Structure 1
Amino acid sequence: MPVIIVVLAALALPRPALAQGQEALQAFAAGDYDAALASLAGQENADSEAFAARVLLAEALSCEADPPQDLLQAALREANAALALDPAHVEGRIQKAIALSMIIRPMSAMEANKTGLGEEARNLAKSALESDPDNPYAHGFLAVWNIEVVRRGGSLGAMVMGASVREARKHYEAAAAASPGDASVHWQWARALAALDAKKYRKEIEAALATAEAASPDSDLEGVMQRRASELHAILSSAGPKAAEARALEML
């Protein structure tokens, strides 16, 4: 039986590591990604490489259209560079998982299955949790991963991959407990559930969207996620679950 590889929706990114200089952190928070990358010139360490991957993915996630593949491939190179310098680097693993999930997003289920990148992304997130059990972004990633397997693979695919809504919910609750005020965590959970079945999970979706809308974003990217939450909430309220489901499938 072939293994079903799910095309993951991209997750919003972890906040920048404190190891980065203030100039880089401020540029990232402001959404000035060129300046953030420029501040890394001459730095060759795992933290800086993982941060560069994060910056590139943030720029890709901020696009209203499909994320440019050149940005995604550049982010993957930076994440790989971080892991080459430090194979145990937690953020490097998370950035690579996000990059891989975004790279296979436009593919059909069959095409994505052949690449093996979906499984690799899942394994990276799981290994990050082994090193950092409370990491909200690894938990958030796996919450979405489980939902997407259920949606794309159905009951058989979920069984083969060991995925379930119940497991997804556990990861979302862990992510929310670790980072309760992060709009991106709640937005991605709501978006994934809405794409799965907006009618069945409407109460959960509305609760997560409301939490995302009530957050106080500390970066331009998180603000983007919050605005998307508001858009989907408005569609769900005015046009109903079917319209929200269709829109959620298009969103990041």
Structure 2
Amino acid sequence: MKWVGAIFIALLLSCQTASADRVEQAFASGRFLEAAELARAEGGADNYARAARALLADAVASGRPTVERLDEAEAMARQAVALDPKHPEGRLQLAIALSLKSREMSTREALDSGYGGMSRDLAEAVIEDDPDNVYAHGFMAVWNIEVVRRGGALGSAFMGASMRKARNHYVQAIETGQADPSLHWQYARALAALNARKYESDIEMCLERAMTTQAETALAELMQARARSFQLYVRTHSRKDIERAAEVLL
């Protein structure tokens, strides 16, 4: 019976691995909704987190996330965290979902929602558990810039955000050796939205990194294309036009 049990467990793990492969294959090729459905059907904290990631990728790829898609991603991430409160990807995907939801809110609405503080706390907790988590550092790099831009000096102080922290997180993300085009593109976009003239050289450097770093997924390729298009835009438009464009891009 022990032998039979061992065989059963081995087969079960093999099925889970194959399913996970199907999820990752669908995600890597840009079939995000298919990846989300496969992961959701399997269940469990890992798969709910993968489902949230795929739904958020679909939202980012669209360029204009719908409330319904973000709500769906948030729900999947919350299910992952409910099953495993310390699940790294579950917490990080929840942070991203909340952050994206706050983009369409006014500064006052964003503060009242508490999404900014919640997303910060989730990402910082992931870093505390895993100091080399490239995605958490990338998230916090952009989070700090966005809070500085939207909150000004007072809001930044209240939320504990600063450009020094943004730079530190970006550097730490690079030092992991795992930064992908998406991370460089998002950091460049956030800087451009904040002050295209002041951070001109940093923006150009990050855009170059986004275009030259190897893209291993369809989403990374899309981020490279956006970086390339934005680089051309930066070279032919005014500072105010650049900032307005960067503010609405993803």
Alpha-carbon offset, residue 23 of structure 1: 1.4
CA contact (8 A) 2:91 2:123 kept: yes
Whichever structure has more helix as a proportion of its residues is 2
Is 1:111 the counterpart of 2:118? The answer is: no
Distance 1:180 1:51, change over 3 A: closer
Partner of 2:11: none
Partner of 1:47: 46
Which range moves more in the overlay, 148-157 or 138-147? 148-157
Partner of 2:25: 26
Partner of 2:124: 126
Equivalent residue pairs, number: 234
Q: Secondary structure at the match of 1:40?
A: helix
**AA partner of residue 63 (structure 1):** S
Q: Identity of paired residues, percent?
A: 46
Partner of 1:148: 146
CA contact (8 A) 2:149 2:194 kept: yes
**AA partner of residue 27 (structure 1):** A
Distance 1:33 1:237, change over 3 A: same
Partner of 1:5: none
CA contact (8 A) 2:137 2:170 kept: yes
Partner of 2:235: 237
**AA partner of residue 125 (structure 1):** A
Structure number with the bigger relative contact order (C-alpha 8 A, sep ≥ 6) is 1
User: Take 1:86 and 1:31, find their aligned partners in 2: how far apart are those partners?
Assistant: 27
Alpha-carbon offset, residue 212 of structure 1: 0.2
**AA partner of residue 245 (structure 2):** R
User: Take 1:243 and 1:42, find their aligned partners in 2: how far apart are those partners?
Assistant: 44
Alpha-carbon offset, residue 247 of structure 1: 1.0
Q: TM-score, with normalisation over the residues of structure 1?
A: 0.88
Computing the radius of gyration from Cα coordinates, the structure with the larger value is 2
Q: TM-score, with normalisation over the residues of structure 2?
A: 0.89
Alpha-carbon offset, residue 35 of structure 1: 2.4
Alpha-carbon offset, residue 56 of structure 1: 0.5
Alpha-carbon offset, residue 112 of structure 1: 1.1
- Deviation per CA, 1:12-46: give whole Å up to 9, x if none: xxxxxx89622111110111123213423542211
Indicate which of 189, 192, 199 corresponds to 1:201.
199
Partner of 1:86: 84
- Deviation per CA, 1:66-109: give whole Å up to 9, x if none: 20111111111110110111001010000000000111110101
User: Take 1:242 and 1:69, find their aligned partners in 2: how far apart are those partners?
Assistant: 28
Over the aligned positions, Cα root-mean-square deviation in angstroms equals 1.6
Once the two structures are superposed, the pairs formed by residues 146-225 of structure 1 within 5 Å of their partners are 146-225=144-223
Q: Secondary structure at the match of 2:85?
A: coil
User: Take 2:224 and 2:213, find their aligned partners in 1: how far apart are those partners?
Assistant: 8
User: Take 1:111 and 1:126, find their aligned partners in 2: how far apart are those partners?
Assistant: 23
Distance 1:56 1:234, change over 3 A: same
User: Take 1:51 and 1:164, find their aligned partners in 2: how far apart are those partners?
Assistant: 31
CA contact (8 A) 1:143 1:167 kept: yes
Distance 1:93 1:238, change over 3 A: same
- Which ranges of 4 or more aligned residues in structure 1 deviate by more than 6 Å? none
User: Take 2:18 and 2:242, find their aligned partners in 1: how far apart are those partners?
Assistant: 40
Structure 1's unaligned 5+ residue stretches are 1-17
